[in-house]
Each structure stands twice: as C-alpha cells, then as structure tokens.
A and B are shown apart, each in its own frame.
Chain A
Amino acid sequence: MTTKKWVPYAFLAVPLAMYSIWVIYPIISTFVLSFTSWDGVSPTIKFIGLKNFVELFNDPYFGVSVINNIKWLVGFAGVCVPLGLLIAMLLDQKFKGTKIYKTLIYLPMTLSFVVIGQIWCWILEPRHGAINTILNMLGLESVGWLSDPNVVTYSLIMAASWRQISYTMVIYLAGLKQVPNQLIEAAWVDGANAWKRFIHIIIPMLKPATVVAVTVSIIDSLRAFDIVYVLTRGGPFYSSSVMANYMYIQSFHNYRMGYGSAIAVIQFLITLGFILFYMRYVLKSEEER
C-alpha cells in the first residue's frame, strides 16, 4: 500500500492553520503594533516608528521590570532547579512514605497561579498572616512581605518557587529513573564515595533533564505574570513589576497598545537571547563529548 504524497500535509493542514491564526498572526501583529501609538480603542492607528522603543529605553519603570525578571531568573534557575534535584534525590531512595511525600510536593502543580497567588496573599498578610504570626511568636518583628519595596519581589519569587520546585522535582525524578543502576554500583565497587558518584555519574546522566528544567525555568521566569498581577499588580509603585505585568498595565489599564506591544517585543527578544545562549552552550558541550 503506498501512501499518497499529500496525506501528511492534509494531516498538518488543520493544526498549521490554527497555529497560524492563534500564534503566528498575533506575533506579527504585535511586532507591527509596536511601531504605532494606538490606544486599542480608536479605529485609526498612527505609525510613529521607533519612538516607543526610545521611550522604553528611557523608562525607569521598564528598567525596574527587566531587573526584576533577572531576579526571577536567578531564583528559578539558580534555586528551584538545584532544590528540585535535591528533593528528587532524597525521594528517589526506598523508604516508607516516599509516595506520600512525592504527592504532597507535587500538589502545588495542580493549582492555578491565581489560586496560588490568593493562598500566598493570606500567608503573607502583614498582621494576621501565617508567616508574620510565627515570626512574632518567636519574638521577631513582622516583615512587610508585600508592602516593603525592597522585599516584595523576593516574596513573589518565593510564592512562585513553591510551585516551580514541584515542577523541577518531577523532571528530575523522571531523569533519575533513567540513570542506569549498574553504573552507580560499578562506581561504588571502584571505591567512589557518594559525593564523587553524584558529581561524576548522576549529574552528567541527568543532562537531558537539566536542559528541560533550566529551559523551562528561564522561560517561566521571564514571562512571570499571574503571581505578580494577583498579589501586587506590580506594586508598590512598580517595585515588583515584571515585563509581562508592565506590558499588561500599559496596554489594558493605560490604553497604550503600541507601547505595550513594544514591551512585548523586547520581552520576546530577551527571552530568545537567553534560550539561544543556553542552547548553544548545551549543544556545544554535546559536540565535545
């Protein structure tokens, strides 16, 4: 039986059409809009060239947003990934109750970001929230988790990490199952201690899992929105603002679709830059093997 040549294309046609309408077209549209000053409401659209980008370059709040995104990036890739690995290593052993722990730690993944935001809103409440109440019981002073501009971004990262760690843990648990036990036993027989086994066998074998975990963490941190919008709206006065949140406020609260689109374009380019950089690093080290 010979398959007709057009059959694969026929199968692709529908998803490709949907992808073009729902993904490709909006991306192109956003790029075009970034060169305009449109309020999202009038029928006429004015082209203003690169003025939006010039204004962005001089906008201190956008600068704050980018820096906050970098903080998120460090938090997700630098803290959530290793912690996820640590928890996965701990739970990969055989002792009673691993299943329960795995389920419990996985639970945040099942919650929507808005729900997570609301939960943490209560936990971080300055007067009656769980954390400050415990701090007070221990004789320590309350912290303005969501009201102190110096602390607020870290509070948000903490709330988001609660979920991100579940995610990286699951990735590493799956990755650890792929590490052949014979390799580890052979190393043990050869006299390698636990630390050496970890560094020289387990981590290299986990490379695919690490690539996934880090890539997802980069993308998730640079597009953070839900937690920020629900908990603080980017406040107090933009101190917890991230690019996605700033873009949303400019586009939908301030009726500046053109400016918001410019922010979206920059966010896209920054994310693309990080991913390309990371991919090149991974592919290069693959070639070196």
Chain B
Amino acid sequence: MKKLLLIVSLLMFALVSFGAGELVINSYMSDPAPRKVFAELVDQFREEHPDLEVTVNTFAHEDFKTLLRTWLNSPEAPDVATWFAGERMRYFASKGLLEPIGDIFEGGFEAYFPEAFRSASAYEDEIYFVPQSWYWWGVYYRKSVFEELNIQPPITWSQFVKVCEKLKENGYIPITIGTKYLWTAAGWFDSLNMRINGIDYHMDLTNGDIPYTDEGMQKVFEYWKELIENDYFIDNHTSYTWQDAANYLFTGEAGMYLMGQFIKDVAPEDVKEDLDFFRFPIIDGEIGLYEDTPIDGFMIPAKAKNKEAAKTFLKFIASKEAQQYFAEELGRLAANKNVPAPDAHAQKGLEMILESDGVMQFYDRDTNPEMAEKGMNGFVEFMVYPRRLETILKNLEMHRMRIYSE
C-alpha cells in the first residue's frame, strides 16, 4: 500500500513538473498603487493557469529603464517586460530584440485596440507591443484652492498667466514641478510646442527633421520664458523628483502641476477627490488641439525562454476583463476599446482626448533616447538659466546633427 502511494505521488509530482512552465515578468510598476493592482492581476492569471510558475520582479521605475537594455541582450531575459509604446519600443524592435506578437489577437489588433494605437505598437507593420493602459497629461490643480480664490480653470494662455499671478499674489506657488529626472520639463516643452507649432511640426522635430535652432522653436521658449521670469515655477525644482514636487500640490502650498493622470497614484486619499485638471491652455486659436497620451504596456524579448507562456500572459493582459480591472482600480484608461472609462475623472480625460485632433506619446518616447537625454537636459537648463537659450539650442542642434546622421 505504502509503495503504491509513493509511486502515485511521484508520478503526480512528475506530471506537475512536466506540465509546469516558468514565466518571469519584469515590471517597472514600483509606485505602491499600480504595483498592488498588477500583483492582483497576476494572481488572477495564476488561478487560471495553475501549471505555470509565475514570478514577478519589480524594479524601481527609473532604474528599470537602464536595466532593460541588459536583459534584452542576455540569455536570462525575462519572458515578459513592461515598457512604453512608440520610439522607445521601436528602438529595440529595429535591433531584432523583440518578439512579434501579432498572432495573439483573435480577430486582429484592431479588435482589441483603437486603430490609432497601432503605429505606436508596431515596427514595420509587425506588432511587438500590447498596450495596457494609457493616460493623458493635463494641468492638475486643487479644486479647494481655486474655489477659495474664486478662480476659474483657464482656457487661453492669457487667462492662464492671470491665474498664475493671482496664485502668486495670494502666497501660493503657482506651478510646482520636479525636474531631477528631467522628463517633467519635457511635458512643458511638448505642450507648448504642440500648441504653438502643431502636431506635424512636433512629429518632425522628434523624428530629427527640424533643427533645434529653428524659428518655431524660439517661439516655444519665449512663452516658457514668460512663466520662468515671473517666478511662477517652484524654486529649486532641480532637486525634486516628480513625487517630491507633487507633495507641494497635496499639502496645498502649490496650485497647479502639469502632469499625467498617474499623479493620482501617489495622492493621499483625502486629497484625491480634491484634484481636478484642465486642458493645457490654448495659445494659437488656429492650431488644433493636440495632447500627449503615453501608452504603457508589455512586450516579449526575442531571447525569452518561455515564449508560449509569455504569449498566454499577454493574451490575458489584452483581454477586456484584465484591462478593465487595472483601469478601474487606478482610474486610468484601458487601451482595450471595449472597456468603458472607470470613473468620472477618467471619463473627463477620455472626452478631452476624443475631442482632440491628434496625440503624441511624449518627448522621451517619441524621439531617439540619446537625443531625449540631451534635449531634456537642455530644457531643464533653460528653466534655470533662461538667458542661456541661444547656447542651449545651438548645442542641441549639434547633437541632433550627429545623432541623426549616424
């Protein structure tokens, strides 16, 4: 009897280990809210696939960006990795480091996602990226502060400047920002450039086709200068991370923050309801309304060990249920077009985008990574030393010519 039991248990063990596969997912969702929700999603996946051993490795968001490159090249590549759509993804796809995954979509990519997302998820007509969520950028503000000072959300640039002035007069920091990791300044650049020069110009610039010393660029920085020289930005922003800067909005010391919807991820509970946003102010009435809508999602490294399991996971992640769960818990917009907006706040964001004439990903997701680093450093330097604009643009132009000629 004992012998039989032993054989049976050994057999079962063998069966389980044969059927078992390992799935390794590397994620950059290090902020507590998305990290928790993603863990719950993975648990749901585990229930549906008990034969798979799923490991999720979470890395600090900023460090992940540098680590990814080493993983993609190593034989120990993860099976699934979080990443950004657009040029950031295409950079790796063009080097053959990603696995094409067009075959996981029943009925094709467009059955799941809006057509507008295809170009950001594909390289040379092959799909390499599964979008999960996207968000909009807007000027976030404290409703209570605006109410107290009787301020209406501005629509035009001149109204916006007046709001800044009123906040300043009443002892508030008009605009908070944390430029330690640079990309928050790129948000200002993108918004200003798309308002002043339009989306085609912005796209050409991020493709490296427009010189940084161009006349159109000068105008962008002129408007930016107006805010800087009036001291509307918080002091010492180069020493703050974006979360440090957001704290000033949460404590009520600052009035506004140009930021993505994910600012809600780090807002304390009692402040969340007091946060609202308005569209970046209009500068030129003739130019259409364009916004940044960065798309986050997943991809499979070409060197992944268990591509079968990886594709199964991506199929799960692309499904309406999984996307709806993630979106609802975090108030984001699901990429899956069959998922409705999770709450009134997200609905407002969605409508703002639906009313827009076009979208881009974000400066450091639309342009070559090295150009992005140089460009963003230039923007931050301009914010601290606006008088240096000419030298800064000349330098950026030098880099652009070198980078795009290779």
Residues of chain A at the chain B interface (Cβ within 8 Å):
37, 39-42, 60, 124-127, 144-149, 232-233, 235-238, 249, 252-256
B146 located at the interface, meaning its Cβ lies under 8 Å from any Cβ of chain A in the complex: no
Contact A124 B69 (CB under 8 A): no
B238 located at the interface, meaning its Cβ lies under 8 Å from any Cβ of chain A in the complex: yes
Q: List chain A residues, Cβ under 8 A from B65.
A: 253
Contact A146 B238 (CB under 8 A): yes
B99 located at the interface, meaning its Cβ lies under 8 Å from any Cβ of chain A in the complex: no
Q: Bound state CA distance, A81 and B244, in angstroms?
A: 36
Contact with A along B81-100 (1 / 0, CB 8 A): 00000000000100101000
Q: Bound state CA distance, A3 and B28, in angstroms?
A: 58
Please, which residue of chain A has its CB at the minimum distance from the CB of B72?
A41
Please, which residue of chain A has its CB at the minimum distance from the CB of B235?
A126
Q: List chain B residues, Cβ under 8 A from A255.
A: 69, 369-370
Q: Bound state CA distance, A256 and B406, in angstroms?
A: 12
Most chain B CB neighbours (cut-off 10 Å) among A235, A236, A237:
A237
Contact residue among B72, B95, B235 (Cβ-Cβ distance under 8 Å from A144): B235
Q: Bound state CA distance, A60 and B235, in angstroms?
A: 27
Contact A236 B370 (CB under 8 A): no
> Least Cβ distance of A183 to chain B in Å?
51
Q: List chain B residues, Cβ under 8 A from A254.
A: 369-370, 373
B316 located at the interface, meaning its Cβ lies under 8 Å from any Cβ of chain A in the complex: no
Most chain A CB neighbours (cut-off 10 Å) among B65, B69, B97, B380:
B69
> Least Cβ distance of B89 to chain A in Å?
13
> Least Cβ distance of B303 to chain A in Å?
12
With A233-B180, A253-B373: A37-B406 Cβ-Cβ less than 8 Å: yes
Contact B369 A124 (CB under 8 A): no
* Listed A/B pairs (17) with beta-carbon separation below 8 Å: A40-B73, A41-B72, A41-B73, A124-B239, A125-B244, A126-B239, A144-B239, A145-B239, A147-B235, A147-B384, A148-B236, A149-B384, A233-B181, A235-B377, A237-B380, A254-B373, A255-B69
With A149-B384, A252-B66: A236-B369 Cβ-Cβ less than 8 Å: no
Contact B97 A41 (CB under 8 A): yes
Q: List chain A residues, Cβ under 8 A from B369.
A: 253-255
Contact B384 A126 (CB under 8 A): no
> Least Cβ distance of A125 to chain B in Å?
7
Most chain A CB neighbours (cut-off 10 Å) among B69, B97, B237, B238:
B238
The majority secondary structure among interface residues of chain B is helix
> Least Cβ distance of B188 to chain A in Å?
15
B297 located at the interface, meaning its Cβ lies under 8 Å from any Cβ of chain A in the complex: no
B260 located at the interface, meaning its Cβ lies under 8 Å from any Cβ of chain A in the complex: no
Contact A147 B406 (CB under 8 A): no
Q: Bound state CA distance, A127 and B395, in angstroms?
A: 33
Contact residue among B70, B97, B239 (Cβ-Cβ distance under 8 Å from A147): B239
Contact A41 B373 (CB under 8 A): no
Q: Bound state CA distance, A39 and B381, in angstroms?
A: 26
Contact A235 B97 (CB under 8 A): no
With A236-B384, A256-B370: A41-B92 Cβ-Cβ less than 8 Å: yes
Please, which residue of chain A has its CB at the minimum distance from the CB of B97?
A41
15 A-B pairs besides A41-B92, A237-B378 with CB distance below 8 A are: A41-B72, A41-B73, A41-B95, A41-B97, A42-B95, A126-B239, A144-B236, A145-B239, A146-B238, A147-B239, A149-B384, A235-B377, A236-B238, A253-B65, A256-B370
Q: Bound state CA distance, A127 and B251, in angstroms?
A: 13
Contact residue among A39, A41, A147, A238 (Cβ-Cβ distance under 8 Å from B377): A238
Q: List chain A residues, Cβ under 8 A from B180.
A: 232-233, 235
Q: Bound state CA distance, A121 and B378, in angstroms?
A: 24
Q: Bound state CA distance, A41 and B73, in angstroms?
A: 6
Please, which residue of chain B has its CB at the minimum distance from the CB of A46?
B406
> Least Cβ distance of A53 to chain B in Å?
15
7 nearest interchain CB pairs? A147-B236, A146-B239, A236-B238, A237-B381, A126-B236, A254-B370, A147-B239
> Least Cβ distance of B99 to chain A in Å?
15
Please, which residue of chain A has its CB at the minimum distance from the CB of B253?
A127
Please, which residue of chain A has its CB at the minimum distance from the CB of B374?
A254
Q: List chain A residues, Cβ under 8 A from B384.
A: 147, 149, 236-237
Contact A40 B378 (CB under 8 A): no
Q: Bound state CA distance, A126 and B248, in angstroms?
A: 12
Q: List chain A residues, Cβ under 8 A from B239.
A: 124-126, 144-147, 232
Q: List chain A residues, Cβ under 8 A from B381.
A: 236-237
Q: Bound state CA distance, A49 and B380, in angstroms?
A: 34
> Least Cβ distance of A58 to chain B in Å?
10
> Least Cβ distance of A253 to chain B in Å?
6
Q: List chain A residues, Cβ under 8 A from B181.
A: 233
Q: List chain B residues, Cβ under 8 A from A148.
A: 236
Please, which residue of chain B has its CB at the minimum distance from the CB of A132?
B236
Q: Bound state CA distance, A68 and B94, in angstroms?
A: 38
Q: List chain A residues, Cβ under 8 A from B69.
A: 40-41, 252, 255
